[in-house]
Structure 1
Amino acid sequence: MTQPGINPYTDPTARRAFLDREARLRQLSEVETDFVRLGDMPDLARWLDQIRATGGCAVPVYLAGHTTALASDTGEILRHYTTATEPNGRLAVRCRNRRASRCAPCSREHSGDTFHLVRAGLTGGKGIPDSVRTHPRLFVTLTAPSFGRVHRVGACHPARRGRCEHSGRHGCGSTHPATDVLVGQPLCTACYDYPGHILWNASAPVLWKAFRDNLYHHLAARMGVGRGEIRRLTRVSAAKVAEYQRRGAIHFHAVVRLDGPDGPASHPPSWASTDLLLETVRSAAAAVALTLPWSAAYGDGRLRFGTQLDAHPLAGSDGGRLTDDAVAAYVAKYTSKSVESAGAVDRRIESLAEIRALRVTSHVRALIATAWRLGDLPELRHLRLHAWAHMLGYRGHCLTKTRAYSTTYGQLRADRADHARTLAGVRDLYTDWDDTTITESAWRFVGTGHTPAEALLAAGIAEDLAANREIARQSAGERS
């Protein structure tokens, strides 16, 4: 930079320095040039504060606007904030993407919220009474059926003589480590039921709903009451997370709890036991069957859950095979993962040509292409398979819960924001607002993401925060 008051176009020395600097900038890489820009930013410290507040978010959302709180009786301004004084006139907020592949800092926060959401439904807290830990509770895993033999971890399918009608092998005979790329790949792609696989993934949310409805029906049958009466006697509360297996099929991990008719605050009937719930879960899952509309493209059949159903009683925090905290952590772990765990992509597909260019296994490519082709069928348009081809047909949420199971993500975020305001000493400006307070806000979206240098700084901030958390965790462990 030239000194103030010196014109680089008339002063020879200043002009030479100016031209030398411009030449050096042209030689710098894009990242280095961006670092120079950031170094010249007068309010760089404030921008860094914003990125620290987002936890080092990899893809922050930038907003511009203002918020003003007024006393309705006097018109006094209680609080006013505007982005006009912020760097570039905007404020960075978290992207809140749950996928670790897209934003590790935000996915970690989402996983933490999921842990507390699931744990509150098991042990109480967050507005849920502690008595829920005495209710019948199960940890259930519902799997997809077989669509064809695939390579599996450990001792794979025993090698057998002969081949299938497509000249593919009937068995493998190898032992695969967990990191083997063959795990989850079909032994014979021609034998594999790709349409059935995609349609199962696409119908998985409907199958889950049918399972929940069946729970009430089977409970009513066992107790000898009508289907309408059973809902006045007990309530099934549940939270489930979807996980992709290595073969690309969805399966569900779920916490299932029996409450009284008024939800977690009421005790279930005396006849509601863990053993009864265990038997009902097994029979309800086995009875689920969804009929597909007939088409020559995929045949006629029924969609069901797989035979590998696991259901285990929860032992609380005092021991046993599964504890409340372990289950909550297990469920929370899967909310940061998505279809990339099956080797697919986490962005939408726009055309068949894009599918051919994807850097994925032949199995995943076949699944995505099958979803795209099935999306062209009129009778399957309601499944929107073009939009969800990158998700291998699955179009449901990662985690869902019944209304009465526990708290909500929105409430957890509100509590965290309230805690942050308390630490900042401004909580009194946000609380106790009622009809005597008027809030005027106007916000607009102005951008998203980082420049190359900003991305490196944000990643460094995220690493520093993670290191600080690890140091704090270790210190807490030593004190205990």
Structure 2
Amino acid sequence: MTSSTLALAPETTTVSGTGAYADADTGYWPWAAPTTGPRDLAADGWVRGHDPRTVASGRARAQDPDYPDWLGHVRAAAACKHPIRLAGQIHVNDTDGNRMATIDTEDMPDGAIYTPCGNRRASVCPSCAEVYRRDTFHLIKAGLQGDRWGLPPLHEHIAIFLTATAPSFGPVHHRVVKVHAADCRRKDGCTCRASVCHPFGRTCPHGVELRCGQRHKAGDTQLGQPLCLDCYDHAGQVVWNHEAPELWRRTIQQADRELRRLGRAHGVELRRRYIKVYEFQVRGVIHYHALIRLDGEHPDCPGTIVPPPAVITRQMFAEAVGTAFVKTAYTSAPHPANDGQGWRIAWGDKGLDIKHVNAPGGEVNLAQITGYIAKYVTKSTEVTGLNLRRVDDLSVEIHGNPRTHLGRLIRACWDLGEHPDYNRLRRWAHQFGYGGHITTKSRAFSVTLGFIRHQRTIWRRTEGHPHTWDDEQTERVIYELGYQATGWISTGDALLANTAAALARARHQAGLDALADELAARTTAGQPAAA
């Protein structure tokens, strides 16, 4: 189920582009702009407050005799902000390979097939990002709970949740709440009283006093900004971002060595499985959130997922992983900008934050950790205040402002990227040098996102009856489709499609609520719930 980004009651915002034939392209979703001049509000009805061009295109589409067919045709991408339009032919063959029918997109509404963009970032497409988040949620849940999709029950497996951060590259404005209120539920963006930022500090060689007596509030624009731009090691930070995937690879290899030593000491075989996501801090550097599960090994079937031996405790597992993070460090490739030497790549010296999952009396349970990790897959660099698609020779002059912290990070990526060993820094300058995937995992931790998407495809094509699916059907349908355009043809189409998706979702939720109320009433009356 997708998530609508368009309110049922139209609001007054700005118009966003919808593709090559958009009515306007001046802002952001939900494609509604304040009108100018007198208008007949009563005549506008449900589109009151929208731009006249949106109203005109929406009315034209709704008055078309084929409007019901069009609405059903775009249903799969109705909530998407930038749907992809595909054109071509679809061939249907029989079991012997003989062609039975050919469907041309020219005979379809708008002459194209609408499919969601599938972008994971909520700032680009909230609807598709919500689908990505939910898929990740179920992937992680299956890796912790098991007993679905061919995975065995995993309740006896021990697991830890850790957060690995980067080292300091210079003092920045920060917000630390040492004691939260009793009713505080948001530990990262609460309104509790924060500590003084930097109560003590010296004067740097550039004449800047490295102290701040403020108690920053959540969302303060100063958070993450260096106390002195010239003292801050921008080059070291972008290189660390660049090397973070390699640092993680070496760390997880070291963790395997520590687990082998632990296993030999107790005469058992151990295997680790993990999933991790990255998150950008306000200062523009990433840190990892990882969930590591400990498995045993069956002597007769090495690929089987079995619980770890009871002799291995949670504390032993946590100590072995923590030791790997402390030991792992290396020097990057040399660079002329660093006097011909490389940078030391290691984890931060503030220690590794490790929490046990589903431990008796522990802080983290399965539901909390699954939702916590899944929410990060829809985020990118928005927390830093800058969200770019790509940096090139022209845009680097605009975004690489030397008077700002983020501008210096982008400029550092561009300048250091001239070296052949660091050319990927330019490729990922819009992410301050980091080019890793948002989510990585061990093969045996859980199923894949592709598997979950395939299951959703089966559910949709069988209209909720997956047991009727035949894998041979995929061999009988041949798609010859090509890219036509991106976005809705008009802002009116976007308004109608997204509103229809929101109404359908509201009806579905109302049905679930009514069913829950009925079951609750029967239970209260003493009747069996299944009656």
TM-score by length of 2: 0.76
Q: 1:215 to 1:162 in 2, by over 3 A?
A: closer
What residue number does 1:97 align with?
Answer: 119
Q: Give, as a single letter, the amino acid of the residue that structure 2 aligns with 1:356.
A: I
Q: 1:264 to 1:141 in 2, by over 3 A?
A: farther
Q: 2:167·2:348 contact (CA, 8 Å) conserved in 1? A: yes
What residue number does 1:8 align with?
Answer: none
**In 1, Cα distance between the equivalents of 2:498 and 2:242?**
36
Match of 1:220, SS state, is: helix
What residue number does 1:115 align with?
Answer: 137
Match of 1:237, SS state, is: strand
What residue number does 1:9 align with?
Answer: none
Q: 1:128·1:265 contact (CA, 8 Å) conserved in 2? A: no
Q: Give, as a single letter, the amino acid of the residue that structure 2 aligns with 1:340.
A: E
1:250 aligns with 2:286: yes
Q: 1:60·1:95 contact (CA, 8 Å) conserved in 2? A: yes
Offset from partner CA, 1:265-318 (integer Å, 9 cap, x none): 2232444332121001111011111311222313533111113311111117x8
Q: 2:59·2:492 contact (CA, 8 Å) conserved in 1? A: no
Offset from partner CA, 1:226-267 (integer Å, 9 cap, x none): xxx99xx32210000110111111001111011123456223
- In the TM superposition, 1:334-349 aligns within 5 A as 334-349=376-391
Higher normalized helix content (fraction of residues):
1
* Structure 1, gaps ≥5 residues long: 1-27
TM-score by length of 1: 0.83
User: 57-66 or 46-55, which moves further after superposition?
Assistant: 46-55
1:372 aligns with 2:421: no
What residue number does 1:150 align with?
Answer: 172
Q: 1:152·1:176 contact (CA, 8 Å) conserved in 2? A: yes
Offset from partner CA, 1:130-167 (integer Å, 9 cap, x none): 43221121011111111111111132433336411111
Q: 1:184 to 1:66 in 2, by over 3 A?
A: same
Identity of aligned residues (%): 32
**In 1, Cα distance between the equivalents of 2:502 and 2:244?**
37
Offset from partner CA, 1:207-233 (integer Å, 9 cap, x none): 1111110111112234448xxx99xx3
The equivalent position to 1:138 in structure 2, one of 153, 160, 165, is 160
Tell me the CA shift for residue 357 of structure 1: 5.1
TM-align CA RMSD: 3.0
**In 2, Cα distance between the equivalents of 1:41 and 1:354?**
47
Tell me the CA shift for residue 70 of structure 1: 2.6
Offset from partner CA, 1:16-65 (integer Å, 9 cap, x none): xxxxxxxxxxxx95545544653565533333223332251001111123
Tell me the CA shift for residue 473 of structure 1: 7.0
Q: 2:281·2:384 contact (CA, 8 Å) conserved in 1? A: yes
Q: 1:69·1:440 contact (CA, 8 Å) conserved in 2? A: yes
User: 394-403 or 261-270, which moves further after superposition?
Assistant: 261-270
Tell me the CA shift for residue 395 of structure 1: 0.3
1:52 aligns with 2:75: yes
**In 2, Cα distance between the equivalents of 1:306 and 1:186?**
17
1:70 aligns with 2:93: yes
Q: 1:417 to 1:432 in 2, by over 3 A?
A: closer
Q: Give, as a single letter, the amino acid of the residue that structure 2 aligns with 1:202.
A: H
**In 2, Cα distance between the equivalents of 1:356 and 1:127?**
49
1:265 aligns with 2:287: no
What residue number does 1:7 align with?
Answer: none
The equivalent position to 1:433 in structure 2, one of 449, 472, 479, is 472
Q: 1:117 to 1:73 in 2, by over 3 A?
A: same
Tell me the CA shift for residue 201 of structure 1: 0.8
Tell me the CA shift for residue 427 of structure 1: 7.2
Q: Give, as a single letter, the amino acid of the residue that structure 2 aligns with 1:323.
A: N
**In 1, Cα distance between the equivalents of 2:213 and 2:281?**
21
Q: 2:400·2:407 contact (CA, 8 Å) conserved in 1? A: yes
The equivalent position to 2:370 in structure 1, one of 328, 350, 361, is 328
What residue number does 1:421 align with?
Answer: 461
What residue number does 2:492 align with?
Answer: 453
Tell me the CA shift for residue 368 of structure 1: 1.3
Q: Give, as a single letter, the amino acid of the residue that structure 2 aligns with 1:402.
A: S
Offset from partner CA, 1:417-459 (integer Å, 9 cap, x none): 212223267974x515289x64433121111112333333344
Q: 2:282·2:384 contact (CA, 8 Å) conserved in 1? A: yes
- In the TM superposition, 1:186-205 aligns within 5 A as 186-205=226-245
Q: Figure out how many residues of one structure are paired with residues of the other and give that number.
A: 442
What residue number does 1:400 align with?
Answer: 440
**In 1, Cα distance between the equivalents of 2:166 and 2:363?**
24
Q: Give, as a single letter, the amino acid of the residue that structure 2 aligns with 1:192.
A: Y
**In 1, Cα distance between the equivalents of 2:438 and 2:357?**
22
Offset from partner CA, 1:165-187 (integer Å, 9 cap, x none): 11122211110011111111111
**In 1, Cα distance between the equivalents of 2:264 and 2:332?**
32
1:38 aligns with 2:61: yes
Q: 2:459·2:466 contact (CA, 8 Å) conserved in 1? A: no
1:315 aligns with 2:358: yes
Q: Give, as a single letter, the amino acid of the residue that structure 1 aligns with 2:352.
A: L
Match of 1:179, SS state, is: coil
User: 413-422 or 41-50, which moves further after superposition?
Assistant: 41-50
Tell me the CA shift for residue 470 of structure 1: 6.1
Q: Give, as a single letter, the amino acid of the residue that structure 2 aligns with 1:312.
A: K
**In 1, Cα distance between the equivalents of 2:273 and 2:107?**
48
What residue number does 1:213 align with?
Answer: 253
**In 1, Cα distance between the equivalents of 2:85 and 2:426?**
30
Q: Give, as a single letter, the amino acid of the residue that structure 2 aligns with 1:333.
A: K
Match of 1:202, SS state, is: helix
Tell me the CA shift for residue 121 of structure 1: 0.5
The equivalent position to 1:287 in structure 2, one of 312, 327, 348, is 327
**In 2, Cα distance between the equivalents of 1:331 and 1:143?**
15
Tell me the CA shift for residue 471 of structure 1: 5.0
1:160 aligns with 2:200: yes
Q: 1:465 to 1:234 in 2, by over 3 A?
A: farther
**In 2, Cα distance between the equivalents of 1:249 and 1:447?**
35
User: 149-158 or 356-365, which moves further after superposition?
Assistant: 356-365
Q: 1:464 to 1:164 in 2, by over 3 A?
A: farther
Tell me the CA shift for residue 198 of structure 1: 0.4
